[in-house]
Chain A
Amino acid sequence: MNKAVKVILNILIVIASIGFFFSVILLISVIGGKNKEKEDPAETFAGVMDYEIRHRAYGEVMEDYYVRRLSHMDAPAGYEDLYRIGEYGHTAFMIRVYEEKGDTEKASALRQKTEELRGELGSYEFTADEMDEMIRNAP
């Protein structure tokens, strides 16, 4: 009887040892995965945005800006340029809307805001010129 119990316990110990071994492997791989240098999504996105800008696809830049703003009102780290370009695009777009609506006060306030935003664009200042041109020439 006791011999049988010993045999069963030995089998259970072997199974538990295998389980313990896999638990250790699991923990190591999880910690390893966490510490592994992950691909920075902001960096990847910057590449995508530059590609879009090279093709003057500001509509897509605007869509990225709006999508990002669904979760963050202020630019998260790495998305500052997107937010500046997006805000410039929206502001420049709305100037013509307010002018058409006859709200000169708002239009001039936005014109002033675009100047400030343009100053903040830095190396992306050319995007403001390109977006202004597209907006001016629309439709």
Chain B
Amino acid sequence: MRCDKCRHEIGPEQKRCPNCGAVNKFALQHKKNMRKFKEKYASTENEVKEYGRSVEGLGKRAAILAALLVGSIVLIIAAAIVDADPDEEAAVKRDSEKNAAAYAEEADGYLERGEYVEYVSFLYAHELMNFPPEEFDRFRSVHYVAGYYYECIKRMEIMILRSDDPEYYDGLDTDIRNFCMYVDTFYETFEAQKNSEKNEKYLGYIMDMEAELRAAMRTYLSISEEEMQEFIDSSRGLKAVRVWEVLRHE
């Protein structure tokens, strides 16, 4: 900047021109401005410091809270994972769907050997009895009949091998009631399926199961072949009375 009077070069801090001695007006104004600036600076600095003091610790608190929440969630998830039991049934179903063709072949083997009880046990053990995949469509008729054949044979074994200890309660009446119910259901299913099954091989299995059930009833319930149809056609109550009399030697 230059002196207003002599145009001599002059600094902003110099109060007078070093050449002509004229007063430097700008220097006075500059001094005033600097004072105001310093005051404003000090005030702003105070405000900033005051604000800093007021928010001091907020971030720390928020961080602690976030850490506690994340920690709790992690612990709860960990506890749930540790506590979870593997779903065995779902695993069996997945396995059966994956190996349906092989299992269908294995099931055929049981039928060919005439192991009908084994056949049903096999299907149940692989969750194929209640949820058969499409590879098992061909067994549909056998499936129904075999299920009730299995129940009849099982009930007869339970009744025949019941405890002969008079002190032991063996629930014979319940077993008889269940057996009679399954005989009825077997014959209802058998009649329906033997007429609908077109495959000779599977029809043979159905007929064979019926023949075995008749043989079992002749052997263990003393029902002669002449009495058999009458027994099958009789009511569930009459069947139960007959079975009860035989098993109790009355």
Contact = CB atoms under 8 A, between A and B. Distances in A.
Interface of A: 2-3, 5-6, 9-10, 12-13, 16-17, 19-20, 23-24, 26-27, 30-31, 33-34, 52, 55-63, 66, 69-73, 89-90, 93, 96-101, 106, 131, 134-135, 138-139
A115 B121 CA distance: 23
A132 B167 CA distance: 22
A69 B215 contact: no
Interface of B: 54-55, 57-58, 61-62, 64-65, 68-69, 71-72, 75-76, 78-79, 82-83, 92, 114, 117, 121-122, 124-125, 153-154, 156-165, 167-168, 170, 175, 211-212, 215-216, 218-222, 246-247, 249
Q: Is the interface of B mostly helix, strand, loop or mixed?
A: helix
5 cross-chain pairs, A with B, having the tightest CB-CB distances, nearest first = A23-B75, A16-B68, A58-B161, A57-B163, A59-B162
A5 to B, nearest CB: 6
A77 to B, nearest CB: 15
A5 B58 contact: yes
Contact of A101 (B211, B220, B222): B211
A19 B222 CA distance: 71
A66 to B, nearest CB: 5
A33 B176 CA distance: 43
7 contacts: A13-B65, A19-B69, A20-B72, A23-B75, A57-B168, A69-B125, A100-B219
B59 to A, nearest CB: 10
A102 B60 CA distance: 90
A139 B125 contact: no
Contacts of A71: 92, 124-125
B219 A97 contact: yes
B71 A69 contact: no
A60 B170 contact: yes
Given A56-B164, A97-B219, A27 B65 contact: no
A56 B71 CA distance: 58
A90 B82 contact: no
Contacts of A13: 61, 64-65, 68
Q: Is the interface of A mostly helix, strand, loop or mixed?
A: helix
B222 A139 contact: yes
Nearest to A58: B161
A60 B160 CA distance: 11
B29 to A, nearest CB: 41
A12 B65 contact: yes
A27 B215 CA distance: 60
B163 A96 contact: no
Contact of B61 (A10, A19, A89, A99): A10
Nearest to A133: B164
A27 B79 contact: yes
A13 to B, nearest CB: 5
B72 A139 contact: no
Contact of B82 (A9, A30, A66, A139): A30
A59 B65 contact: no
Nearest to A35: B82
Nearest to B78: A27
B222 to A, nearest CB: 5
Nearest to B167: A55
Contact of A89 (B82, B114, B161, B247): B161
A135 B246 contact: no
B75 A27 contact: yes
Contact of A72 (B69, B125, B157, B164): B125
Given A6-B57, A27-B79, 4 more contacts: A9-B58, A26-B75, A56-B163, A99-B219
